[in-house]
Amino acid sequence: MKFALFKKITSLLELDRNTKYKVLDIGCGQGDLLGQLSSSMDSESYLVGIDEAEHLVESAKESYPNLEFHREKFTDSLSFKDDSFEIVLSVDTLECIPNKSALISEIHRILTPGGKIVIAHWDWDTQVYNSANKSIIRKFVAAFSDWQQDWMKASDGQMGRRLWSLFEGSGKFKGKIVSYTLLETEFREGKYGFDRLRDLSSLVKNGIIETTDYEIICAEMQDLSDTSKYFYSINSYIYAGEPV
Ligand X SMILES: C[S@@+](CC[C@H](N)C(=O)[O-])C[C@H]1O[C@@H](n2cnc3c(N)ncnc32)[C@H](O)[C@@H]1O
Q: How far is the CB of 150 from ligand X (least distance, A)?
A: 12
Q: Which is nearer to ligand X, 70 or 174 (CB)?
A: 70
Q: Which is nearer to ligand X, 27 or 131 (CB)?
A: 27
Q: How far is the CB of 3 from ligand X (least distance, A)?
A: 11
Binding site for ligand X (CB under 6 A): 2, 27-29, 32, 51-53, 56, 73-74, 91-93, 96-97
Q: Which is nearer to ligand X, 32 or 86 (CB)?
A: 32
The DSSP letter of residue 149 is -
Q: Which is nearer to ligand X, 192 or 231 (CB)?
A: 192
Order of strands across the sheet that contains 68-71: 68-71, 46-51, 22-26, 85-91, 111-129, 232-243, 173-184
Report residue 78: phi and psi, to 5°: -105, 150
- State the residue number with the nearest CB to ligand X: 29
- Give the residue among 33, 29, 52, 50 at the shortest CA–CA distance from 41: 33
Pinpoint the alpha helices (H) of the chain.
2-13, 32-38, 54-63, 100-110, 134-145, 159-167, 192-199, 201-205, 211-226
Q: How far is the CB of 203 from ligand X (least distance, A)?
A: 18
Q: How far is the CB of 6 from ligand X (least distance, A)?
A: 8
